[in-house]
Chains A and B, each alone.
Chain A
Amino acid sequence: MNLRAMKDLSPKKVSDFLFDHVVEVILIILILVMGSVSRTFNTTANWLNIFRNMSMKGLIAFGMTMVIISGQIDLSIGSTVAISGVIVARACRDLPGAMGISVTLACVIGIVLSFLLAIIMGALHGYAQHKFGMPAFIITLASQNLLYGLAGILSGGFPIANTFPQWFTVLGTGKIGGISGFPVPALILFIFFVIMLFIIRYTTTGRAMYAIGGNQESARLSGINVLKTKIFAFASVQVMCVIAGFINAAQVLSGSYSFGRGWEVDVISAVVIGGTSMAGGIGKMWGTMVGVIFLGVIINSMTILNVSTYAQYVVRAIFMSIAVLVATYQARKKA
């Protein structure tokens, strides 16, 4: 709210503002309640922990926001997380011996290959969806299986452990400013938040995403390049998955086909809690950040309160339903 809006604070305006930001309001209440219940909750260490824990799903959620705003969906994300870890781990293990190169160079090759794969998958998803009119839901579900299978084949069905060079593990476990410093994954999360926010708000490609999600035919007849825009969105989420895959692999010091399974649930939840419409055309990167923090706070709170893992799922389901219900109600009221 800017200063001029502050001057004429009528009750109506305040209630409108609160209604528009109801997810933020719920989040703040949750934080206040947790702060009073637990002494450890509102500490810098715990907050850094929350961001570090949410960094991987958060990154993917930013990419997913672009895909959903464009009126599409990507369910293959978990498998991309897995395969990118496996590719780098495998490269680091086998390439030095086979090609006589250093582990560092092998690792870089693995990283480049992973990014290439991400871009190819994104292009494939965008092309198949647009040219053949196949539902993104089905295409990316097929990719999920494909990449999962490939990750399994590449890794031989077992985690490939302890192959990474030291500098690679910094991505997952590194901290800036000593042992209690700022976690590198959280830093990556914030950097990409700014980049993705910038793309969606200030570039013509960002504008085109809203257009094709809002009404693809109108966008097409306005001479907007629908195919290019879709490929950009699909490739963005895949690239985010690869980065998340690196962080994940670096944290557990191995690559495995089983990483990332089921992540699409939390990722899509965060996007939708943040107010992005599943129908496309409406959404905000900032909202997704709020959704990510929301999920992180709930998971963290329950761990602090010692709620059992299974009960955690039940509570998360309830909170997610409430948040989505509110978001849907808002959208309907505005329409």
Chain B
Amino acid sequence: MPSLRCLDLTKDYPGTRALDGVSVSFESGQINALLGKNGSGKSTLVKCFAGAIQPTSGQMFLDGEQLDFSSPADANRRGIAIVYQEMSLVPSLSVTENIFLGRMPMKRGMVDWRSATAQARELLARMNADIDPNQLVSRLSMWQCQVVEITKAMSHSPSVLILDEPTSALASGEVERVFEVLRALRRQNVIIIYISHKLHEIPEIADTVAVLRDGRLVGHEKMKNLNNQDILHMMFGEMTHKTRPDDVKPGEDIVLSVRGLSRKGKFEDISFDLRSSEVLGIAGMLGSGRTELLKSLFGADPYDSGQIFVKSRPARRRPSPISMKKMGLGLTPEDRKKEGLILIHSIRDNLCYASIDQARRGWLENKKQRAALADSQVEQLHIKVASMRNTVNSLSGGNQQKVVVGNWLNTKPAIMLYDEPSRGIDVAAKQQIFEIMWEQARQGISTIFVSSELEELLETCHRILIMRQGRMIGEVDPQATDVKTLYALCMGGEA
């Protein structure tokens, strides 16, 4: 039976060991689930298999033959196909064209449409998928796009098919359609590795489960021998989380109240209160509506109904970032490069955009005050800069994130909204961001902290609200909750 195996695989990055002596074997004819929380090393492992990165030490074998890839193209030639989360289809082309992108069958120097369509239809039929090959991809639903992605990968007849969270963008009804396709694939001679965050899907689709934690393989079992509790235990282990410093205490006054806030298709009937000096967490998985809620609170996106009160004053019916900034709100967006920073501009400029209306004399910029504001944040947030004139692009992820935070702290906000502030930054920088939140809380500033890293929320927050499928389904006390329970609440599976 064909198998993909690795032996003592290790990958070091400066300062961290992403994979630590992983030995595991995946076989064909079954769906092998690969699980682990963020940063557990599962994507590093998959990238090694796909040739995107080279392991520091250890070996990989496919059907007993050793693999040594120097590029993703190498892995591709050897029959390892990977379907990433982000869709790579061209929406304006047909299904057929997407499947054979760059290698359309030719006849006498022209595209042989008849044969291309026939081949595409045949491939889709083998997937058990009812999709018209002549249809434009832009007209397909999300699950159909995902199936076309898989079909495209399968058209190379790979021996290994790696699926990176194929259901993360799908609605619950659509997931089953993709599963039907995967079950059809199981009968073909291909090794399927299935990465997922959605715990409740695993029993339905997986035959074996391999779990990584902190770069090590903690278990590899047949699904039928496991229950949800076992998997949660493997993923998180017995760990106690650190807590925030004791002197950070929420005050009495309510600074923000949200009543029945709804935005069609994004979130529904959200109500909560935020107190002064409080660090309030919002837990939820991708697509739970947490980012959308934050954006609507900040006036960056509209909402349909409900009301927002800042210090008992109602916000405008159609708020904008400009009006919300005036009411004392600040937001560090989810994607700091696309929404938080102007990468081609200097560090000083990036620290002073939100406060552009504070550092002015009438029409004119107050250059002195600007420089002072920028310098104060560099000092206060410990941003490491060679020169304030360098572009913000030249900074590390952690320092970039601090620039985004500093940009807002310069507006002297009363309420800071943080959307995934710790994404893609190292452990030390994460800790510094939390320290900043606490320090601001000591000065009376309230914080709403959205994250999919649940340990972080437990560590930093006074209270955690839980969002699932656009609804607020509950509230937990971080002191009395462990990460497994919180995870289960967010996922909707039974703990």
Residues of A within 8 A of B (CB): 202-208, 210-211, 214-215, 217-225, 281-282, 335
Choose among B298, B300, B325, B364 the residue with the greatest number of A CB atoms under 10 Å from its CB.
Answer: B364
Contacts of B363 in A (CB 8 A): 203-205
Q: Are B325 and A223 in contact (CB under 8 A)?
A: yes
- B300: nearest residue on chain A (CB-CB)? A221
Distance in angstroms from A279 CB to nearest chain B CB is 9
Q: Are B344 and A223 in contact (CB under 8 A)?
A: no
- A203 touching B365 in the complex, CB below 8 Å, given contacts A215-B341, A222-B321, A222-B407: yes
Q: Are A215 and B364 in contact (CB under 8 A)?
A: no
Q: Name 7 interchain pairs, CB-CB below 8 A, sorted by A.
A: A204-B363, A204-B364, A207-B365, A210-B342, A211-B342, A217-B339, A222-B354
> CA of A202 to CA of B298 in the docked complex: distance in angstroms?
29
Contacts of B342 in A (CB 8 A): 210-211, 214-215, 218-219, 281
- B330: nearest residue on chain A (CB-CB)? A223
Determine if B73 is an interface residue (Cβ-Cβ < 8 Å). Answer: no
How many chain B residues touch the partner (CB < 8 A)? 30
Determine if B100 is an interface residue (Cβ-Cβ < 8 Å). Answer: no
> CA of A207 to CA of B342 in the docked complex: distance in angstroms?
12
Q: Are B341 and A218 in contact (CB under 8 A)?
A: yes
Contacts of B344 in A (CB 8 A): 214, 281-282, 335
Q: Are A223 and B324 in contact (CB under 8 A)?
A: yes
- B363: nearest residue on chain A (CB-CB)? A203
> CA of A282 to CA of B344 in the docked complex: distance in angstroms?
8
Contacts of B300 in A (CB 8 A): 220-221
Beyond the given A204-B364, A218-B340, A221-B340, could you list 5 further A-B residue pairs with CB under 8 A, ordered by the A residue number? A204-B360, A211-B356, A222-B407, A223-B411, A224-B322
Q: Are B333 and A221 in contact (CB under 8 A)?
A: yes
Q: Are B356 and A208 in contact (CB under 8 A)?
A: yes
Determine if B331 is an interface residue (Cβ-Cβ < 8 Å). Answer: yes
Determine if B353 is an interface residue (Cβ-Cβ < 8 Å). Answer: yes
> CA of A224 to CA of B356 in the docked complex: distance in angstroms?
8
> CA of A325 to CA of B190 in the docked complex: distance in angstroms?
51
- A221 touching B365 in the complex, CB below 8 Å, given contacts A215-B342, A215-B343: no
The 8 A-B pairs of least Cβ separation, nearest first, read: A223-B325, A214-B342, A222-B353, A222-B354, A223-B321, A215-B342, A223-B322, A203-B363
- A277: nearest residue on chain B (CB-CB)? B344
Choose among B320, B322, B411 the residue with the greatest number of A CB atoms under 10 Å from its CB.
Answer: B322
Distance in angstroms from A217 CB to nearest chain B CB is 5
- A202 touching B364 in the complex, CB below 8 Å, given contacts A207-B356, A220-B300, A223-B322: yes
- A228: nearest residue on chain B (CB-CB)? B322
> CA of A206 to CA of B349 in the docked complex: distance in angstroms?
12
> CA of A117 to CA of B311 in the docked complex: distance in angstroms?
45
Q: Are A210 and B345 in contact (CB under 8 A)?
A: yes
- Of residues 328 through 353 on chain B, the ones whose CB sits less than 8 Å from some CB of chain A are 331, 333, 338-345, 349, 353
Contacts of B364 in A (CB 8 A): 202-204
Q: Are B345 and A281 in contact (CB under 8 A)?
A: yes
Q: Are A219 and B322 in contact (CB under 8 A)?
A: no
Determine if B357 is an interface residue (Cβ-Cβ < 8 Å). Answer: yes
Q: Are A221 and B339 in contact (CB under 8 A)?
A: yes
Choose among A211, A222, A335 the residue with the greatest number of B CB atoms under 10 Å from its CB.
Answer: A222
> CA of A48 to CA of B147 in the docked complex: distance in angstroms?
69
Q: Are B353 and A211 in contact (CB under 8 A)?
A: yes
> CA of A205 to CA of B357 in the docked complex: distance in angstroms?
10
Distance in angstroms from A127 CB to nearest chain B CB is 16
Q: Are A225 and B322 in contact (CB under 8 A)?
A: yes
- A206: nearest residue on chain B (CB-CB)? B365
- A204 touching B365 in the complex, CB below 8 Å, given contacts A214-B342, A282-B344: yes
